[in-house]
Structure 1
Amino acid sequence: MDSCCQTADEKPATLNKCPVCHQKGRSVQLITLKALLQPTALGTIHPESSYVFCSNSSCEVVYFSDMQTYDKDTLKVSVFQKDDELDVPVCYCFGWTRKGIIQAIQENQQPTDHIREQVQANRCGCEVNNPQGACCLGNVTTFIRNLDKS
């Protein structure tokens, strides 16, 4: 399995803008959908299609292709970009929630150091754990940066 924090060879998406919010999305591997869709939704995927992740927080769509969409209610996990609760993971592989990151920062710890160590040790599985199908470190860094601004 390729490292989750490296760009994988993906099928080019035939549709790269969400059909609901019209925001440009990011291609995801089929393995991400297979790992994170609920069984009823999993039974409707078209393996030959290319899927795209919609990160727009105000849009209900998480994945889309030229044939279908999957809303956040069809996933097994809450989606960081679409759910602002404190217990939602920012880092899905190592269990860093917003609440856990806030607590760690207050205790002068650096969650990004822990995550980087785990990634370097080839322990991450973002392609099957993170709904965006890619490394979460950017999300964690941005979340921490935004904490510093508040």
Structure 2
Amino acid sequence: MDCCTTSANSAVTATTECPSCGEKGKNVQLITLKSLLKASALEAIEPENSFVFCSNPECSVVYFSGNHLQTFVENDLKVPVFQKNQGTDVPVCYCFDWTRERLIKAVDTDKKPADQIKAHVQAGRCGCEVNNPQGACCLGNVNSFVRGL
């Protein structure tokens, strides 16, 4: 099952506290880290560990292992992290390159970016588990960001 598909049979995502800020994070698949970590960080990863994404914008940690022995920060990733970086050129939707700036421009022209993204998702074109640092569908981030404009 890909990350953008929902199912009543989906397992509940376990959460655990970030060793840096103490907030609960969400488990991410190892493929997410393998896809997004720079080579230097990837060389250090212990693949037998489970990993968790910390979405707290005030915390420097992006990923941490469930046993708290490994942490990775935004500089360890190939892409900026939407939740950690407020830049206008940072993707909100990683699969289809919808940055904050592009979303603002689309909303100003009455385009419906969320509808466009949703159509791509329904067509099976998303790859959020390998493109989005949080390892899950970006549509919730897009909708929240657009609502806040």
TM-score (norm 2): 0.92
Report matched runs for 1:101-112 at 5 Å.
101-112=103-114
Gaps of 5+ in 2: none
Runs ≥4 residues deviating over 6 A = none
Report matched runs for 1:1-150 at 5 Å.
2-6=1-5, 16-65=16-65, 66=67, 67-147=69-149
Distance across 1 between alignment mates of 2:12 and 2:42: 19
Cα distance change, pair 100–44 in 1 and its aligned pair in 2 (3 A): same
**Which structure shows the higher helix fraction?**
1
Matched position secondary structure for 1:115: helix
Cα distance change, pair 124–141 in 1 and its aligned pair in 2 (3 A): same
CA contact (8 A) 1:12 1:50 kept: no
Deviation, 1:6, is 3.3
Distance across 2 between alignment mates of 1:129 and 1:117: 18
Cα distance change, pair 44–10 in 1 and its aligned pair in 2 (3 A): farther
CA contact (8 A) 1:17 1:23 kept: yes
Gaps of 5+ in 1: none
TM-score (norm 1): 0.91
CA contact (8 A) 2:13 2:26 kept: no
Deviations 1:32-66, CA, capped at 9 Å, x for gaps: 00000000000111111110000000111000011
Deviation, 1:11, is 8.8
Coordinate RMSD, CA, aligned: 1.6
